[in-house]
Each structure stands twice: as structure tokens, then as C-alpha cells.
Amino acid sequence: MKTTIAVVNGPNLGRLGRREPGIYGHQSWEDIWQELVKSFPEIQLESFQSNHEGALIDYIEQLLDRAVSGLVLNPGALAHQSYALRDCLKAAGLPVVEVHLSNVHAREAFRATSLISPVVWGQIAGLGPLGYHLAIEALARHQGVSS
Ligand code: DQA
């Protein structure tokens, strides 16, 4: 059975490619996703996006009842404001890599603080879509799966 890794995007990330392309790039999520699926044939990847905090938490909670090995999460602005998401991840006991397409440390001051960083395994910021690839690679190695 293939290892499963979930890739989750939070608010406003459904509009990648059209949303501030100077910051978030010209690729749509569909394009990025196709590349990810092609790059990791040994891994069962699943993708979820929501603009709603509760829907994201519901989705993450149901991962815990299944044999999911890790989570790649771009929380969008919820990184900077959601204690509920932080509590969910802290309790999850799942290896999580937080990904930000942009370098959140080089932008507005409020983006430099992530409430979830202290409770995740690692964080990647500023590398664009490559961040998702590297996060999956890291989780796969963590699980001893070669990609
Ligand atoms: C983001 C950075 C956040 O500050 C912002 O609110 C986003 C996207 C990123 O991928 O760079 O929605 O998470």
C-alpha cells in the first residue's frame, strides 16, 4: 500500500495564478498539483483547499482516523491568526510541514509571526511551488519512503 500524504491549502489559495501573481506566481493550483502527482508516483497524494477555518480543521481531524503519514499545509493567513488551527495541529500527532509560497519574513510585519510554526515539524517559506515538492520529499524521507 502506498504511503498517503495530504496537501492542504487554506483561504485564498484556490485562486493561485490569478491572485497577486507578482507575489504568488502564475501557476494555478491545478498546474502545481499535476507536477506534484507526476513527481511522486510512489506516494498517494491527496489535495484539499478551503477558505473556511472549520472546514480545514474538520478535514485535518478526519486524516487522523485514516492511515495518513503526513500533512503539507499552506494555511494562508490562518497561520497568523488561528489558535484553533494551532490547537488542532498540536493535538494531531501527525508530522506537518508548513509551506508558504512567499517569503513571509520579508513582507508585512504581521506575516512574520506564524502561530502554527511552534507545533509543526518544519516550515518552508519563499520558494514558491518548490516548497510543496520539498515538503513532500521531507515527509517521505521521514517515513522512510523513497520517491
Ligand atoms: C501565504 C502567506 C500568507 O501570509 C498569506 O496570507 C497567504 C499565502 C503564502 O503562501 O505565501 O494567503 O501563506
DSSP class per residue in 124-140: EESSTTHHHHHHHHHHH
Question: Is 44 contained in some domain?
Answer: yes
d(CA 100, CA 24): 9
- Answer yes or no: is 16 within a domain: yes
Instruction: Kindly report the pTM of this predicted structure.
Output: 0.96
pLDDT over 70 percentage in the chain: 99
**What spacing in Å lies between the alpha carbon of 69 and ligand 1's midpoint?**
24
Q: Residue 143's pLDDT band (boundaries 50, 70, 90)?
A: confident
Q: Which residues constitute the domain of residue 47?
A: 3-142
d(CA 113, CA 110): 6
- Residue that has been written with the C-alpha cell 519574513 in this structure: 105
Active site includes 24?
A: yes
Residue nearest to atom 9 of ligand 1 (CA): 100
At 36-90, the pLDDT tens digits run 999 999 999 999 999 999 999 999 999 999 989 999 999 999 999 999 999 999 9
Mean pLDDT, rounded, for 20-47: 97
Q: 44: domain CATH number?
A: 3.40.50.9100
Q: Is residue 74 within 6 Å of ligand 1 at its C-beta?
A: yes
> Domain for residue 125, yes or no?
yes
Q: Is 133 a catalytic residue?
A: no
Neighbours of 96 (CB within 10 A): 25
Ligand 1 centroid distance, CA of 2 (Å): 30
Residue at 74 is within a domain? yes
Is residue 82, in this structure, part of any structural domain at all? Answer: yes
- Decide whether any atom of ligand 1 lies within 6 Å of the 50 Cβ: no
Q: How many domains does the chain have?
A: 1
Those residues with Cβ within 8 angstroms of residue 5's Cβ, 6 or more apart along the chain or in another chain: 40, 43, 44, 45, 46, 68, 69, 70, 71, 72, 136, 139, 140
* In contact, 12 and 23? CB cutoff 8 Å: no
Q: Does residue 147 fall inside a structural domain?
A: no
Q: Number of helices and strands (H, E) in the chain?
A: 6, 5
* HSE (side-chain half, CA atoms, 13 Å) at 78: 29
What are the C-alpha distances in Å from 63 to residues 4, 32, 88, 133, 134? 10, 22, 12, 20, 21
Question: 104 CB under 6 A from ligand 1?
Answer: yes
What is the position in ligand 1's atom list of the atom closest to the CA of 10?
12
Q: Is residue 95 part of a domain?
A: yes
Q: Of all atoms in ligand 1, which is nearest to the CA of residue 23?
A: 11
Q: Are 3 and 43 within 8 A, CB to CB?
A: yes
102 Cβ inside 6 Å of ligand 1: yes
Residue 134: inside a domain: yes
Q: Is 69 in the pocket of ligand 1 (CB under 6 A)?
A: no
